[in-house]
Amino acid sequence: MDIKRLFSGIGVVIDDMLDNTEINDKIIDIVSSLENAKMPLVKFKSLPDGETIEHFRNASFILLDWQLYQTLSLIEGQIVTVKVADDVIISNNRKNSSFVSRLIMETSVPIFIFSNKDDVKDCLIENGIAEDILNQSPVFIKKKEELFNDAGNFKLFEALDEWVRSKSAVYVLKEWSLSFNKAKEGLLKDFSQGSQYWPQIIWNSACDDSVDEADEVSALLMQNIASRMMPVEFDTAIITNEEAEFDKKELLKVLQAQRYMKVDNDAMAVVGDVYVFEPDTVNEQGMHSNPENREIAINIRPTCDCVFRDDPQKNIYLLYGRKLTEGAQKEKYNSTYHKFEELDVEAIIGPIVDNSYYSIKFKDVEVAGFDKYKHLRKGRILEPFISHVTERYSLYMHRHALPSLPEDAVCVKAAGEKTKNIQIRTLQEENERLNATICNLKENKAIVENCKKRFNIKVKCKGPKRHK
């Protein structure tokens, strides 16, 4: 891995001692080493304002000195330590934390924080940045003295190399970004030197097809870039780090990003759109908001057919799905082939909404207008996962029924064991529900007894009279 190539581009340096050569702060040596590596730098002596931050999105990195106040001074040729007021330090920590927080939220630029103090990370957490977000963000914190070896030689690039090797996400995104920028430059060169009327040609073609013109132009450019940049070469040793640890929640989050993306606009309907229904409620007039208790619906109609042509009230085809319980997931998951065993009448997709798995049923399809449900659209299933759903639905529509095969005719023992396991699991779930009901009854009984004692209530039970 060439660390200098990975961070090639324009860097941003923020330090109040940039031009103070008399005191000779270590930042002078750091900046000189970066410039000797032919890295162009934009320098600030104080935190830039919000409008300036908007231009940092394409920076290669941002180097921030945490102590943006003077701690050393030159008096009669002697460098002496200056006492800094507590309110100055608190204000500095608050402003720096707000600046870093905004960079984390609005950009993906790596942030290098160098300081003479040890408590930078604690300051960031105390001023509102969650520790898990800080650990997952491309923030590199080091003391300035740790960037030099015993001989006084600068070792920033060695420290960065070690940090990147422990942060595979930073490495992959930087490597991919370099490949993307190279492909983008090739595209811009070819398209700017070719016909100047290509946007009009694509736009008019989209108008003739009654599809979104801007979407068609953007799709053309993105497909061209994707073709130019594939494949991207990565260092396998960095990605397959044996020391990496992640829990199920983090794994589901990554898998969801691979299969599903959030959509927050009212643009035209697209195949794979996911509509999420709220739980059923009843208003004052007794009307139900979701009488059928629908959970999600997926549009399976091809995008080109979703445009408003003949009848805008019939431009999307919806299949409905329900969330798989943990028990159903265990029952349907095939650990040999690492996939779900699906019935002919369903497709199982996930994790998608809320990191959950859903069974999409094929029996009923609703033909509806996009305007009716567009306020419920929350996301979109990506390829090739949406194709898995539509292909299985196509097979379902063209299937031929076969006669049932008696269980006793084949794999009797295996079939019997499977049926027995299903029955056991059903009984276990029913037992759990009964235990929960018993616990609730015991709690209610305890509350009643407590009330009787507290308010001295005596209950007389009268039974039927007995006759001799």
Q: Are strands 296-299 and 273-276 parallel, antiparallel or unpaired?
A: antiparallel
The region of weakest confidence among 118-122, 277-281, 309-313 is: 309-313
d(CA 411, CA 166): 51
Most confident by average pLDDT, 141-155, 369-383, 438-452? 369-383
Q: What is the pLDDT of residues 93-152, one digit of tens each?
A: 899 899 999 998 888 889 998 887 778 888 999 888 888 888 888 898 888 778 777 776
Q: What is the pLDDT of residues 209-229, one digit of tens each?
A: 777 788 788 888 888 888 888
The verdict on pTM exceeding 0.95 is no
Q: What is the largest CA-CA distance in the chain?
A: 120
The total domain count for the chain is 4
> 11 lies in a domain?
yes
Q: What is the pLDDT of residues 224-266, one digit of tens each?
A: 888 888 788 888 888 887 566 677 888 888 899 999 999 877 7
The region of weakest confidence among 236-240, 388-392, 449-453 is: 449-453
Residue range of the domain that includes 33: 3-165
Q: Are residues 335 and 387 in the same domain?
A: yes
pLDDT category of residue 465 using cuts at 50, 70 and 90: low
Q: Are residues 196 and 328 in the same domain?
A: no
Closest CA to 392 of 361, 350, 367: 361
Looking at residues 194-213, what average pLDDT do you find?
Answer: 81
Q: Are residues 206 and 149 in the same domain?
A: no
- Chain mean pLDDT for the chain: 82
For helices 213-229 and 168-193, give the axis angle rounded to 10 degrees: 110
Tokens read off for 167: 């942060």
Q: Are residues 142 and 229 in the same domain?
A: no
Q: Are residues 161 and 60 in the same domain?
A: yes
CATH assignment of the domain containing 315: 2.30.30.110
Tokens read off for 146: 């740790």
The residue among 298 and 80 whose pLDDT is bigger is 298
Four-residue CA torsion sign, 272, 273, 276, 282: negative
How is 290-344 classified by DSSP, letter by letter? STT---EEEE-S-GGGSSSSS-GGG-EEEEEEEEPPHHHHHHHEETTTTEE---T
User: At 392, which helix (H) or strand (E)?
Assistant: helix 385-397
Q: Check pLDDT > 90 for residue 392.
A: yes
Q: Check pLDDT > 50 for residue 270.
A: yes
**pLDDT score of 199:** 87
pLDDT category of residue 319 using cuts at 50, 70 and 90: very high
Q: Are residues 17 and 103 in the same domain?
A: yes
Q: Are residues 37 and 138 in the same domain?
A: yes
- Asked if residues 263 and 275 have their Cβ atoms less than 8 Å apart, the reply is no
Domain boundary among 165, 194, 218: 165
pLDDT category of residue 391 using cuts at 50, 70 and 90: very high
**pLDDT score of 390:** 94
Residue written as token pair 């996962």: 385
Burial class (CB within 10 angstroms; exposed 0-12, middle 13-18, buried 19+) of 39: middle
Looking at residues 301-327, what average pLDDT do you find?
Answer: 81
- Give me the percent of the chain exceeding a pLDDT of 90: 18
Q: Are residues 18 and 143 in the same domain?
A: yes
Q: Check pLDDT > 60 for residue 283.
A: yes
Domain boundary among 165, 192, 223: 165
Q: Check pLDDT > 90 for residue 169.
A: no
Q: Which residues contact 68 (CB under 8 A, 6 or more apart)?
A: 14, 15, 16, 46, 47, 92, 95, 96
The residue among 192 and 118 whose pLDDT is bigger is 192
Q: What is the pLDDT of residues 4-32, one digit of tens each?
A: 888 888 999 998 877 766 666 677 778 88
Q: Are residues 40 and 157 in the same domain?
A: yes
How many residues in total does the chain contain?
468
Q: What angle do CA 82, 85, 91 make, to 5 degrees?
A: 120
Q: Are residues 223 and 367 in the same domain?
A: no
> 73 lies in a domain?
yes
> 52 lies in a domain?
yes
**pLDDT score of 468:** 45
Q: Are residues 161 and 62 in the same domain?
A: yes
- Asked if residues 187 and 243 have their Cβ atoms less than 8 Å apart, the reply is no
CATH assignment of the domain containing 30: 3.40.50.2300
> 346 lies in a domain?
yes
> 307 lies in a domain?
yes
Q: Check pLDDT > 90 for residue 297.
A: yes
**pLDDT score of 415:** 47
pLDDT category of residue 74 using cuts at 50, 70 and 90: low
Burial class (CB within 10 angstroms; exposed 0-12, middle 13-18, buried 19+) of 184: middle
pLDDT category of residue 279 using cuts at 50, 70 and 90: confident
Q: What is the pLDDT of residues 34-63, one digit of tens each?
A: 888 888 999 998 888 878 888 888 898 999
d(CA 203, CA 207): 6
Tokens read off for 53: 């931050």
> 342 lies in a domain?
yes
**pLDDT score of 320:** 94
d(CA 174, CA 235): 12
Closest CA to 67 of 24, 17, 31: 17
The residue among 212 and 174 whose pLDDT is bigger is 174
Residue written as token pair 């600046």: 99
> 38 lies in a domain?
yes
Q: Are residues 225 and 143 in the same domain?
A: no
> 245 lies in a domain?
no
Q: What is the pLDDT of residues 329-352, one digit of tens each?
A: 998 998 888 999 998 899 999 899
- Asked if residues 370 and 318 have their Cβ atoms less than 8 Å apart, the reply is no
